Amino acid sequence: MFAESALAPVSWRQLAYMVIPDYVKKGISATRALKEFRIAGGEIRTQVWHEWYREKAGLMKMQPQIERMSPEKTVPKQWITEADLKRPYHYRVFAEVDYTDFTTGAVETKWVSFYTDELESFEDWMTEFERQRQEFNYRTNQWISRTTFKGVVHQRGWGY
């Protein structure tokens, strides 16, 4: 006869760590993948999920080098992650931004991303991000007091 169970139970955290690579391969965004995981009954902290997702997507491989780059430099192609982006652009740029409220002076740190077709310097990308932010009327009651670029993803199969 068989023992009751030869397998140990798997925690939601362990399961999340195992399924994230499948979501990455399918090109599903971290937010959408987390939503699907939670709909299926999974439980995990949002911050942990996004950290693991960035790791599995390869966004963190070159992050220390990218963070140390000077603003007038362009990210070398060998530091750029290849993926199937959901929008028809060449690049998706990730950064950590401090927003400072004009009225209260309160500072809020957020991870942001935006799409672009140009491989440019961080200075130029910051200008483009600010243009998109104004165009979409996003956080117009705040100014960007600090930006740290974290990673760049290139649309797989597209030219640079």
My answer on whether 18 and 84 are in the same domain is no
Summarised one tens digit per residue, pLDDT across range 18-48 is 999 888 877 788 889 999 999 999 999 998 9
Q: Is the pLDDT of residue 8 over 60?
A: no
Nearest to 97 by CA among 108, 86, 88: 108
- What number of CA atoms fall less than 13 Å from residue 124's CA on the CB side? 10
CB 151 within 8 A of CB 63: yes
My answer on whether 82 and 28 are in the same domain is no
**Angle ∠(150,156,157) on CA atoms, nearest 5:** 145
Share of the chain above pLDDT 90, in %: 46
Q: Is the pLDDT of residue 133 over 70?
A: yes
The two three-digit tokens of residue 124, written as one number? 């130029």
My answer on whether 76 and 144 are in the same domain is yes
My answer on whether 75 and 146 are in the same domain is yes
My answer on whether 120 and 148 are in the same domain is yes
CB 111 within 8 A of CB 96: yes
The two three-digit tokens of residue 143, written as one number? 């100014």
The sign one gets for the Cα dihedral 41, 42, 47, 49 is: negative
Q: What is the pTM assigned to this prediction?
A: 0.70
My answer on whether 43 and 95 are in the same domain is no
pLDDT of 9: 64
Q: How far apart are CA 60 and CA 53, in angstroms?
A: 10
Summarised one tens digit per residue, pLDDT across range 90-100 is 999 989 999 99
Count of domains in the chain? 2
Nearest to 153 by CA among 63, 64, 73, 93: 93
The two three-digit tokens of residue 135, written as one number? 């165009």
2-6, 8-12, 58-62, 94-98 — which one is most confidently predicted on average?
94-98
My answer on whether 118 and 146 are in the same domain is yes
Nearest to 53 by CA among 149, 150, 136: 150
My answer on whether 83 and 122 are in the same domain is yes
Q: Is residue 41 part of a domain?
A: yes
